[in-house]
A and B are shown apart, each in its own frame.
Chain A
Amino acid sequence: MNDSSQSFVKFEKIDKSYDGEVLVVKNLNLDIAKGEFVTMLGPSGSGKTTTLMMLAGFETPTNGEIFLDTKPISKIPPYEREIGMVFQNYALFPHMTVQENLAFPLEVRKISKSETQEKVQKALDMVELGNFGTRFPAQLSGGQQQRVALARALVFEPRLVLMDEPLGALDKNLREQMQYEIKHIHDRIGITVVYVTHDQSEALTMSNRIAVFNDGVVQQLSTPDILYEKPENSFVAKFIGENNTLNGVVKEINGSTCEVDLDNNFGTVKALKVNVSEVGEKTQLSIRPERVSIEPNNSLNTFTGKIEELIYLGDHIRARLDVCGNNEFIVKVPNEGSFSHKEGDTLNLGWDSDDVRALDI
């Protein structure tokens, strides 16, 4: 993947600063293959939108080069890049009807009237708005506007589509529905998509791969399952999904595993060595709530926890416990009808050493 001839989009040593004092993006190296759906995920101010804007051509990299289809694109103006984009607030032109909005990119490319009409209709049908062509954007609901924006970004058959938090303005139900719709359209036409969001579930639902951004740096770039199950640092572990942490010091390293002494002498945990390198180093252990079992039969790592709070959620019960000094330790108990403990009770907990990851602190 590191060879630029194989990747469709390639960021190479990109730095970006607006004021010459703060780097918004630091040494970004990213390869995106043709047809891939890559999401840039991160909190606000992490540099993901800036990265997208550099790709679209609205911002210039301070250092480094972006390649599209092996050609450097820094000197190509946005209107010649042939990259479609869905903007955060759709940026539909309010003085044009839906049809005119969609025809706009075709008109500026001097495509014939009949072909334009055909393509516009096809694009509208694709987003199931075939009968809405004569309406103005203000006469459409948020979800419909979103679809129009999507259709407009696709109608001129761009090489690549960028989406900048396109679902941010929609309510929860519609957002989820649109996630599937966008995913299905991507599957159907096989276009390369670069998607920006701060919503991790959105990223997990839609993407082939996710680049987690923080502080201008890509923390981890992986498929959703690896990102969730095998986070490489504590930021990713915390940012994606729910996560229980225990702090300690590395006592011993045995190949791919290590032993960690918990702070305040709560005991020793056997964990996967992920982001620690030497004995004596401080570390944060990460365990997913659903990987913790109650009253385990045999386990290396067994501890006790006092129930602080129980929340009934139908399919499972969410228990907040005090474990080894961490009173925000969450355990999800499947609702099998056999859980009879109350708040204040003490439970035995255990987990597999493969499910505990020793990360940076």
Chain B
Amino acid sequence: MEVIISTAELLTTDGIPLKQSLKKAERRNKIRAFFLVFPLLLFIVVTFVIPIGDMLMRSVDDSQINTVFPNTFEEYKKWDKGEDDLPPEEVYKNLFLELANGDKRQIGKALTRMNYAKSGWKSLIKKTSREIKKIVKKGEEPVSYKDTMIEINKFWADPTYWYSFNQMVNERSSIYYWNALDRTYNEEGDVILQDENRRMYIKTWIRTLKVSVYVTFFCLILGFPVAHLLANLPLRYSNLLMIFVLLPFWTSLLVRTTAWIVMLQQNGVINGVLVWLGILSDDGRIQMVYNETGTLIAMTQILLPFMILPLYSVMRVIPKSHMRAAQNLGAKPAMAFWRVYLPQTIPGMSAGGLLVFVLAIGYFITPELVGGKDGQLIGHWIAYHLKTTLNWGLCAALGSILLFVMLIFYWLYNKIVGIDNIKLG
């Protein structure tokens, strides 16, 4: 038999190029595989990609007001602020007409937005609208729209109102992001800090990060020994222990959170026992709930299994002979643990840590119930604006920032530990 070594393209026995033949042979499998994952793909797109995309869009969306006052804004852009104190006649005219003919509900929505830019807009427009309607009813056409409007309300001669238009003329706006960071635009369009009594987001962001880091840290400290026991105890004991670890999963989150209120409140179990033991005086009961401490304690307990399980799955496969080998080679048990055991648990620690951190940073129910005034996390404000003020743009901005913070941590994590090191089982 002759062996032909050629640099040319490899052919199959039938003379078809090998690569082409392989592709053909694999195509059927590929199509089948695609159809198998298709429902999942669809599910992820519908429930994950689209909502997140929508949220990101909403967080910068400022188009509604542009659809209400399109012509006004068009003319407004032509105004040379250096030359004239007030906008030209055309601006007044278009605003007049758009207020006269516009849809009432749309204008109402736009007013809410205008009030974010400058408080006072709402009442000014409402008052003006009434007068404009009267004028239109009479069928008169004003000689000068500008003078008519200033006549209706003298604020139309106040350029600061007009300046605030600047923030709204674009269909995309960063106002919600600035709001989410306790900032706003002033009348000149510069970014400034909110008034002191309206600053709450930065404080909450810092608390959210702090609580999440603490919770992650405490979960690691508390979860590590438990996971180690789980991985190393004889089966019948470890099974029992596993049930205790999993028990919280079978109990309602609400029940567990309220149980913590019962435990921690000033007339609660822990304070009661401490007073009974004489460690605390009756009027020296500690406030452990409805503040940051309560949030920390309850969240640590609730998120603990998410740390234990990945750690356990990693520890389970570390051969016991490793600790023996390290000692045999001359390392004391502490040294063997530090140099040989601990490094091998890093995938579990990081998987658990990331999991707990992600869950903690967006946690809502538990801080809402046990957090009181000082223990609220950012989820509280998202829910508040979603349900109460209906400021969805701000909601979306807060949510997007949360997403970006997560991505930053993810990126850092990948840099430091490496994402391939994650191991959930």
0/1 interface trace, chain B 317-351, chain A, CB 8 Å (1 if under): 00101101111111111011001100110100000
Closest to B341 in A: A93
B residues 228-276 touching A (CB-CB < 8 Å): none
A78 touches B324 (CB 8 A): yes
A105 interface hit (Cβ, 8 Å) = yes
Contacts of B319 in A (CB 8 A): 89, 91
Contacts of B328 in A (CB 8 A): 56-57, 78-79, 81, 83-85
A87 touches B321 (CB 8 A): yes
CB distance from B416 to the nearest CB of A (A): 15
A152 interface hit (Cβ, 8 Å) = yes
Q: Knowing A93-B340, A94-B344, A104-B339 touch, does A85 contact B325 (C-beta < 8 A)?
A: yes
A108 interface hit (Cβ, 8 Å) = yes
Identify A156's interface contact among B329, B332, B346, CB under 8 A.
B329
A109 interface hit (Cβ, 8 Å) = yes
Contacts of B346 in A (CB 8 A): 95
Q: How far is the CA of A106 from the CA of B310 in the complex (A)?
A: 33
A58 interface hit (Cβ, 8 Å) = yes
Closest to B329 in A: A105
- Count contacts on B: residues with CB < 8 A to the other chain: 20
Which label, helix, strand, loop or mixed, suits the secondary structure of the B interface? Answer: helix
Contacts of B339 in A (CB 8 A): 104
A87 touches B325 (CB 8 A): yes
A79 touches B332 (CB 8 A): yes
A88 interface hit (Cβ, 8 Å) = yes
CB distance from A333 to the nearest CB of B (A): 40
Q: Knowing A94-B344, A95-B343, A95-B344 touch, does A104 contact B331 (C-beta < 8 A)?
A: yes
A108 touches B335 (CB 8 A): yes
Which label, helix, strand, loop or mixed, suits the secondary structure of the A interface? Answer: loop
Q: Knowing A94-B344, A95-B344, A108-B335 touch, does A152 contact B329 (C-beta < 8 A)?
A: yes
CB distance from A265 to the nearest CB of B (A): 56
CB distance from A294 to the nearest CB of B (A): 47
Contacts of A85 in B (CB 8 A): 324-325, 328
Contacts of A108 in B (CB 8 A): 329-332, 335
Contacts of B321 in A (CB 8 A): 87-89, 91
A109 touches B343 (CB 8 A): no
Q: Knowing A85-B325, A89-B319, A91-B324 touch, does A105 contact B344 (C-beta < 8 A)?
A: no
Contacts of B344 in A (CB 8 A): 93-95
A residues 65-85 touching B (CB-CB < 8 Å): 77-85
Closest to A85 in B: B328
0/1 interface trace, chain A 153-192, chain B, CB 8 Å (1 if under): 0001000000000000000000000000000000000000
Closest to A87 in B: B321
A87 touches B330 (CB 8 A): no
Contacts of A152 in B (CB 8 A): 329
Contacts of A89 in B (CB 8 A): 319, 321
Q: How far is the CA of A95 from the CA of B347 in the complex (A)?
A: 11
CB distance from B309 to the nearest CB of A (A): 22
B residues 358-384 touching A (CB-CB < 8 Å): none
Contacts of A82 in B (CB 8 A): 330
Contacts of B335 in A (CB 8 A): 108
Q: How far is the CA of A91 from the CA of B329 in the complex (A)?
A: 11
- 19 example contacts (A-B, Cβ-Cβ < 8 A) are as follows A56-B328, A57-B328, A58-B324, A79-B329, A79-B336, A84-B328, A84-B329, A85-B324, A85-B328, A87-B321, A88-B321, A91-B322, A93-B322, A93-B325, A94-B344, A95-B344, A104-B339, A108-B330, A108-B335
Known: A93-B325, A104-B326, A108-B335. 20 other contacts (CB 8 A): A56-B324, A56-B328, A57-B327, A58-B327, A77-B327, A78-B324, A81-B328, A83-B328, A84-B328, A89-B319, A89-B321, A91-B324, A91-B325, A93-B340, A94-B344, A95-B344, A108-B329, A108-B331, A109-B330, A152-B329
